Amino acid sequence: MEHALPAGTVLFEQGDVPNFQVVLVSGSVQLFGRSADGREVLIEVVRAPDLVIPAAVLTGSPYLMQARVPEPSKFLLVQADVFREAIDRDPQLAKAVLGTLAEQFRRMVRQTKNLKLRSAAERVGCYLLVLSERQGTPDRALLPYEKHVIASELGMTRESFSRALNALAKAGISVDGQEVTIHDRIRLAKAAIPDPMIDPPDPDGTERQVLELIGRLRG
């Protein structure tokens, strides 16, 4: 089944057992974790094309996160048991899913290193550098979510995020609402210290691999 969903839709809750493998065809999905006392943080943003938490579907285990749609997005929904059966009988599909799982694992390792090895200012600086590259505007970055949501993704409070932005003003940025102007990209990079072993690489064959996987599922 293919669905187009509006911004604000909750795909599933933390603790739900998967009924479908959710395939993100266009748009994005935010994955939130919630503590027993109700504290919530943004764990990861999944961008199309990708599978949404296939590990839970493959093992039939409860989701460890809630999934929300922050922008109009399109999805392919495959019944969980059908998805598992298809993997059992189609070695090429199994290989594609394994590749997707491997890439997601590497993303989580990068995120863990980002949180544990960098100061708040370095995390924010590298976030702005990557974001501006992704948006195709090397001299500015438009923050895609509320600042407190971005702060939680980067493992800090809203106040710490604001302090980091203020500290980076000395490295050649200025902030106007949701828009961050990068006046001196070289100076910002010296302050943030980008690392190819942490920061997301330029797009490679991963997107093509996921698109081929989606084609196999549709077929």
Domain ranges of the chain: 2-115+203-218, 119-192
Selected from 3.90.420.10, 2.60.120.10, 1.10.10.10, 3.90.650.10, the CATH number assigned to the domain covering 2-115+203-218 reads 2.60.120.10
Give the separation between CA 92 and CA 216, rounded to whole angstroms: 9
Fold (topology level) of 119-192: Arc Repressor Mutant, subunit A (1.10.10)
DSSP 46-80: EESSEEE-HHHHHHTPPPSSEEE-SS-EEEEEEEH
pLDDT of res. 216: 78
Rg (CA), the chain: 18
pLDDT of res. 109: 96
pLDDT of res. 45: 94
pLDDT of res. 203: 56
CB 84 within 8 A of CB 94: no
pLDDT of res. 205: 54
Predicted confidence pLDDT, tens digits, the chain (219 residues): 899 999 999 999 999 999 999 999 999 999 999 999 999 999 999 999 999 999 999 999 999 999 999 999 999 999 999 999 999 999 999 999 999 999 999 999 999 999 999 999 999 999 999 999 999 999 999 999 999 999 999 999 999 999 999 999 999 999 999 999 999 999 999 999 999 999 987 655 567 778 888 887 876
- In 3D space, the residue among 23, 44, 24, 22 whose CA is nearest the CA of residue 32 turns out to be 44
